[in-house]
Chain A
């Protein structure tokens, strides 16, 4: 069981969260060419080591988070709010 420090709630069991996916993807515009969408949706890296990923604190504050996790060791390097505006507000407060 890994433990994820939620910036809103503190450190919690991963069973409170659901895994989203690759956090490094910038999704194409809704009218982008099909090739861009194919790449974003289907072409995924299988990272060994540090990976940026999205997690949803679904049994907690329901915030979507960007987590930097080492896929080899589960070491968590950073967690921040995925919503850029909310992340900035948090940073200001701390």
Chain B
């Protein structure tokens, strides 16, 4: 192949030269080039090495179906593997390298595997390395795992960068009346017709230039410019460099816009790519068609490409891809290619597989120097790293016989056209085989999706234009506009029938013919798969990996099916169809992620006293979405020293803790009492105004959903608190019950978690702190505010508050809530009072220590598998009323005494420690799932050693005097423990009474 740039012609800007690097060498192209066209203009032939056999590969197409020119673009963290050179827009400074080759694609040591190719046929790896189940399952798989690493290194594509992606990506959303996919002759006319009917139209085009097949034609481009200017006038939103990669339900389309992939120095604020979710009322698919190869010997050599690709390189990019060209076709579309190439000075020999050429068709070659041979086709390419000649085949009865040898440097192939039915297929419209057109046509769909142009099997440009207008009019009329309908129903077929041709062979000749060049699947592989019992296309795909490469079968699927049909002695329509799934072309993970990465991976919730906490030396930690104080270290203190001090201070004096993250729900209305009585296991019917009650709610199936306190503020107004972890779930649950089950109850629930900031004041001196902070100290006396009492008061700084005397720590304690904006003011006041009493601020770690000592459960214990008895709260289950979950919690299995029950855990040797998340086993049977598990551990200042909380079968009574071991094989040695009552600290509960 001797390709060269012509002096004139094409849509490139010859005055604008671009420098780029290919495999370390600096070469030049022009603005308007793709990487492929620029490499071709420089006569670069070998651009890649194949997947399995490391065969040299060059440019095979001019679009997304490319299977040869697959390269790596960019360096360092921006290295992008498996880029199709045919779709990569050239820019100044672009760095591209060959892949799957060492030392480079032109001299590849891995090519030796080509010599052993008969050992590397379909299924080879599986047969050789996998075990023979069921007899050798484990062993065989083990060997496979070992070999796989080596094989994967030899076979493969490019290597992704291991560095973090330095670029930004965006998610964007849009709506429109009509989405048109594809800006070729059909799509442009469809968009224009719909827009002129007054509709909001989005037209997306994967190329960097709109025009589709107009760009490939040898014309001055005036028709295209006119259409584009009309589109602008009509207000069509044209998005180039944008791929509609998937169609989803209810008119949703996924679009990938490449914003800066083509820019040499993109500005910092620009996203590299934008991931659009577009909702359209009507969708028109004018996605065109892809030209197919024909399978023949060495049809994967550099210098073999589709006929239409050569026309694109010639007319769009001003590159003549060869001097002596043989074109092998089975249809009319290659004739114009032959004429255009001959007109640019190439010697062109056109082989038409059809024996009878209609005089009208032959006449299209008149005036050109194209030499036409009918009843002929390409048989075998000669040359190792390029094309040095072509053995031809001549029609012989139903088959072929060996012909002569053509001297040539470029072989062009047209095996027919495959409409791009992928997006319609995403919507469940099964492609239907059409024998007359030798292709799959889009299937029927009841959704508002219209097909137009070559995507619908319409081959001539003028017919495509009409088809686009017809689709535009149909979409407009479906949206209530009144546009004259244009009749254009499906494919009119070829002017002269195409001949079905998928493979060229002659008897007795051994050929290496590729069906799926990207995955190195040969025609013999397909036949082998058939011989080994694969009878369906789905088998074929999985056994040979046909169609599973990055082009997802754009190049080889139809041919593979045709060969399978031939082997089975069936028609292609009987073999099956292909289901295409999104994405049409690969979508980068960065685009899918968008801005949801790093610290923006999920939402961050800060409490209104977040700044206050941090100003007071809080070290923060994550608790669900929340940032909460973990501990408040004094200078020089470790975390352990800090939380032990904090825990001890709460037990002896007083501590303050931000509890704002607890869920808070206002339950209001005349039936609020009845509602609460139905959702909590314990009675709420007689809770007095000014009192709080600890409650447990179950799910329908009887498992514990959540716990918390609910305060009665008035006859009809309650303030419910939930755990931090389950706040959202409980809110949804209450709404569901009120809307779906008990619409007769007059209750309204409002989430007020964001509206109230809360602080726990805990410890024997907590009342002193409250008394110092409220305007009327009498309101917080033991009489006014007894255990489980609630008061609404005013702080000394005028801030209104609600206080309930409840205790999570086991000490005398209260929770004080103020409107969120007053949180720092409340903290200033409380802290001033607590500090003089030698109080402290405490965080999650001390909170955990206090509650574990006391055996109080949290969301960690209430994990959805726990019954009320399991949690040690069985006495909270009323037997005097009906409530949610009461029936199913009494299922026999849930009442079993030997279920895992809440327990406390002490190390036998008190100096030892153990971890949360570990398994509790019988000491003489440390294996399997054990007898229980540990949910929380802490150093207990009260006991002076480590303690834990968890669950074990039968509860602590069953394990008295029995030997239990904490199994922690990964992190540390196993530890022998004692199982004790979960109520380790102050079991009689006297301390919270003060």
Residues of A with Cβ closer than 8 Å to B? 1-3, 13, 18, 20, 27-34, 37-38, 40-42, 54, 56, 58, 62-64, 73-74, 76, 81-86
Contacts and interface: CB of A to CB of B under 8 A. Distances in A.
A35 to B, nearest CB: 10
Contacts of B279: 3, 13
B713 to A, nearest CB: 23
Contacts of B887: 28, 30-34, 37
Contacts of A38: 888
Interface string B457-469: 0000000000000
A37 B252 contact: no
A64 B740 contact: yes
A37 to B, nearest CB: 5
B883 A1 contact: no
B113 interface: no
Contact of A27 (B446, B741, B883): B741
B867 to A, nearest CB: 15
A83 B738 contact: yes
B417 to A, nearest CB: 30
Contacts of B252: 1-3, 13
B176 interface: no
A68 to B, nearest CB: 15
Contact of A58 (B251, B732, B741): B732
A30 B886 contact: yes
24 contacts: A1-B252, A2-B249, A2-B250, A2-B252, A3-B250, A3-B252, A13-B279, A20-B736, A27-B741, A29-B882, A34-B890, A37-B887, A37-B888, A38-B888, A41-B700, A54-B740, A64-B736, A64-B740, A73-B446, A76-B250, A82-B739, A82-B740, A83-B738, A85-B743
B29 to A, nearest CB: 40
Nearest to A32: B887
B619 interface: no
Nearest to B252: A1
A41 B249 CA distance: 30
B883 A30 contact: yes
Interface string B852-889: 00000000000000000000000000000011101110
A41 B738 contact: no
B986 interface: no
B249 A3 contact: yes
Instruction: Pick the 6 closest A-B CB pairs, nearest first.
Output: A30-B882, A64-B739, A3-B250, A1-B252, A83-B739, A2-B249
Contacts of B888: 34, 37-38, 41
Contacts of B883: 30
Given A30-B678, A84-B743, A56 B249 contact: no
A32 to B, nearest CB: 7
A1 B743 CA distance: 31
Interface in B724-773: 732, 735-736, 738-741, 743
A64 B701 contact: no
B752 to A, nearest CB: 14
A18 B740 CA distance: 15
A37 B252 CA distance: 39
A34 B882 CA distance: 13
Contacts of A1: 248-250, 252, 277
Contacts of A13: 252, 277, 279
Interface in B431-474: 446
A13 B678 CA distance: 34
Contacts of A63: 739
Contacts of B740: 20, 54, 64, 82-83
Interface string B704-732: 00000000000000000000000000001
Interface in B879-935: 882-884, 886-888, 890-891
Contacts of B249: 1-3, 74
A15 B882 CA distance: 36
Nearest to A2: B249
B700 A37 contact: yes
A57 to B, nearest CB: 10
Contacts of B891: 34
A73 B890 CA distance: 40
B250 A74 contact: yes
Nearest to A87: B743
Interface string B234-263: 000000000000001111100000000000
Contact of B735 (A3, A33, A62): A62
Given A41-B888, A63-B739, A64-B736, A31 B882 contact: yes
A2 B251 CA distance: 8
A74 B252 CA distance: 13
Interface in B636-667: none
Given A34-B890, A74-B249, A83 B743 contact: yes
Contacts of A76: 250
Contacts of A30: 678, 882-884, 886-887
A64 B251 CA distance: 24
A78 B736 CA distance: 19
Interface in B263-293: 277, 279
A84 B348 CA distance: 77
A14 to B, nearest CB: 8
B716 to A, nearest CB: 19
A81 B860 CA distance: 35
Nearest to B678: A30
Of the candidates A28, A29, A32, A37, the one having the most CB atoms from chain B within 10 angstroms of its own CB is A37
Given A30-B887, A37-B888, A54-B740, 20 more contacts: A2-B252, A3-B250, A3-B252, A13-B277, A30-B882, A34-B888, A34-B890, A38-B888, A40-B700, A41-B700, A42-B701, A56-B735, A56-B736, A58-B732, A62-B735, A64-B735, A73-B428, A76-B250, A83-B740, A83-B743
